[in-house]
Chains A and B, each alone.
Chain A
Amino acid sequence: MKEYFGNIFTALSTIFIGMKITFKHMFVPSVTIQYPEVKPQLPERERNRLYVNMDDCIGCDQCSRACPVSCIDIETTKALPGEDIGKTSNGKKKALWVTNFTIDFAKCCYCQLCVFPCPTECIYMTDVYEFTEYKRENLVYDFVTLTKEERQEKRDNLAKFNAEKEAEKLKAASEPKPEIKKDQPEEK
């Protein structure tokens, strides 16, 4: 009998305790962040979309080699001897035209391994994380500042320069060189 009324008392009192707690929570400010209008404060070392500052890039290919998923694709073209490309912000002399620098963000795993090897600190993480696309091809970002024609021009220039050099070499090779012949093993 005592247990019976004890049960009723426990049931009712615990219900009222619970109701008191839930009622208090109605006036606690909610933890929801209204996302597109209010953006959450991201941590200092967040890792999001990469950015490459092409003014500082020397085309050393170190980031591409560090990438575990091979999402960075770099093509460089040697500058001609007379050309002056300029200097990076920390005083290194640039010797290569970067004719192709694409990062495929569909592949990128945001590991930040490409950021540390960069000698000029020109590749780094930004705080942009909203860059969805409807087509996967649109996620391939091209960072080169040169136009398509300029890139082709640089390649053509180098090809022309190389061809001229080759032609010079051939011309030089066609002339007899007795002293070199002496060192070579005799042909059969």
Chain B
Amino acid sequence: MMYDFFVDLFGNTTISGIISGFVMSLIPLFLFILPFALFAVYLERKVSAHMQDRLGPMRTGWHGWKQTIADILKLIQKEDIVAKDNDKLLFNIAPVLTFAGSYAAFAAIPFTSIFIGTEVDLGIFFIIAVTGLVVAGILMAGWASNNKYSLLGSMRSVAQIISYEIPTILVVLSLVMISGTMNLHTLSELQTGYVWNWYIFGGPGAELSKFLLIPSMFIGFLIIYISTLAEVNRTPFDIPEAESELVSGYHTEYSGMKFAMFFLAEYANMFAVSAIVVALFLGGYQSPIGYLGDLIGAKWMIPIEQFSWFTIKGVFFVFVQMWLRWTLPRLRVDQLMTTSWKYLIPIAFVNLIIIGLITLL
């Protein structure tokens, strides 16, 4: 594991443990989330443009690839505006809390078999619990802004996230029932081998129960994808930021780097939920076709390949999120609640019971 490598590197003492913990916590931020956010914003603009028969950014660099770098440089230079009647303390804490919440989720996501932020046995439980901080940050931002649109947006956001946590957790619970672990690293290791060992195809093994699980798994996959989409406030569930109704929801009053933090949190969240879906259902970092490193006998290549597979799968689901954004119109508040409470939750519950019965076989 990478943590042990760092501990050895800095000399095996208590201080080195702290230093390597610090290094480990910063690696995903600087090596993954920041470049990913830059890439995802560019991808989003290009995907949306081409789906509408436009070209998107074309001016900066080849096909505008420098556009998001220019944007982030602009955001850094911008004035940090705090209005007179804002609640200064909460207003300043909110973006940090939101980003911390979505960043903390990356601690338990296994990028490769040798890199996982922290090997907690409660992995998926920790992620679901800690992303609750995002809700607090959003509500805080809306309240401290002292602005009706911000407050409405954050209230909607909280109502939405709380409603959609339930189907997510029910599906996660059914997965935990099958695999018997909450650790995403172990969960990914269980799905090793080939495509048919992924949990969306019933998991490893070749018993009767595996084949009985397949329809339930597809339903579970759809439910968790829809509900995590709602949890990260993406279209068609973007009523918290509904541009046409609420300006831009809870971050209306924010500018400069604080706005950038909300933005970064949003894109980090998009990848985090995709990564969770991938780790639970699609084999995590496991290759669907075997490893080249195994084939040519170069063991050091395997983690790199695993990382690439994980990124490809994650980015694919981020792309699907964007694809859905430019396909579907926004849901009304009552339709949103109907979708969650009348459709997703009962189906997820029945699904849970069916999976429970099958695992008893």
Contacts and interface: CB of A to CB of B under 8 A. Distances in A.
B327 A30 contact: no
Interface residues of B, number: 17
A21 B327 CA distance: 8
Contact of B53 (A7, A23, A28): A28
Nearest to A32: B55
A18 B55 contact: no
Interface in A3-48: 7-8, 12, 15, 18-19, 21-23, 25-32, 34
Contacts, number: 42
A29 B54 CA distance: 8
A18 B343 contact: no
Contacts of A21: 327
Contacts of A22: 51, 323, 326-327
B343 to A, nearest CB: 7
A19 B323 contact: yes
A53 B58 CA distance: 41
B23 interface: no
Interface residues of A, number: 18
Contacts of B52: 25
A19 B324 contact: yes
Nearest to A33: B55
Nearest to B320: A19
B35 to A, nearest CB: 24
Contacts of A18: 327-328
B54 A30 contact: yes
Contacts of B84: none
B50 A30 contact: yes
Contacts of A8: 343, 347
Contacts of A30: 49-50, 53-55
B195 interface: no
Contacts of B222: 12
Contacts of B326: 22
B327 A34 contact: no
Nearest to A21: B327
Interface string B37-60: 000000000010111111100100
5 contacts: A26-B50, A30-B55, A32-B55, A32-B58, A34-B58
Given A29-B53, A30-B54, A34-B55, 17 more contacts: A8-B343, A12-B222, A15-B324, A15-B327, A18-B327, A18-B328, A19-B327, A22-B51, A23-B323, A25-B51, A25-B53, A26-B50, A26-B51, A28-B53, A30-B55, A31-B54, A32-B55
The 5 closest A-B pairs by CB, nearest first: A18-B327, A32-B55, A22-B327, A26-B50, A22-B51
Interface of A: 7-8, 12, 15, 18-19, 21-23, 25-32, 34
Interface of B: 47, 49-55, 58, 222, 323-324, 326-328, 343, 347
